[in-house]
């Protein structure tokens, strides 16, 4: 049976325990995702309380992180999504994404609508990838791919 949560507290506690276990066991998010067969972005978001995991994945993550059966059960529930409380984020990394949307949000909207018409890019039917690449000018660059299905607005 599918269950939904209406407050984030339980998933926040499980996320805290999972991150603590991840650090204690010196695991990467990729190693955690590898036991599920799912993408590293999806599993990371799920463990941090933003998605439900399928039962086999939830049990595998709980076992790897030595979380109890209750945690495996709660990892399968549909969470109350949203991980940034308040208004402007204060964490520098999250703030930069906020800044990017402040600067480029209207540009992205204009280009999406010009290319596709009136509609949205789904965050449900969605893929996320983060890669590190060399910068020809020295250092490294982050390549972040947001790949969402386009859903047109339909008159009714």
Catalytic residue among 13, 30, 96, 141: 96
Catalytic residue among 20, 122, 127, 141: 122
User: What letter does residue 143 receive in the DSSP assignment?
Assistant: E
Q: How far apart are CA 22 and CA 29, in angstroms?
A: 8
99 tagged catalytic: yes
Backbone φ and ψ of 122, nearest 5°: -70, 140
Catalytic residue among 30, 63, 99, 141: 99
Backbone φ and ψ of 149, nearest 5°: -70, 135
140 tagged catalytic: no
The Cα-based distances of 148 to 123, 128, 145 in angstroms read 6, 9, 10
Q: What are the catalytic residues? A: 96, 99, 122
């Amino acid at each position: 049976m599918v269950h939904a949560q209406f407050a984030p507290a339980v998933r926040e506690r499980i996320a805290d325990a999972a991150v603590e276990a991840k650090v204690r066991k010196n695991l990467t998010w990729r190693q955690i995702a590898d036991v599920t067969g799912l993408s590293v972005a999806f599993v990371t978001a799920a463990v941090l309380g933003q998605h439900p995991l399928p039962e086999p994945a939830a049990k595998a993550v709980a076992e790897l992180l030595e979380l109890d059966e209750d945690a495996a059960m709660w990892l399968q529930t549909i969470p109350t999504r949203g991980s940034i409380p308040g208004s402007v984020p204060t964490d520098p990394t999250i703030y930069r994404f906020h800044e990017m949307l402040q600067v480029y949000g209207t540009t992205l909207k204009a280009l999406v609508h010009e290319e596709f018409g009136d509609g949205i890019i789904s965050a449900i039917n969605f893929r996320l990838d983060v890669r590190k690449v060399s910068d020809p000018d020295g250092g490294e660059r982050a390549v972040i791919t947001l790949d969402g299905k386009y859903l047109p607005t339909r008159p009714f």
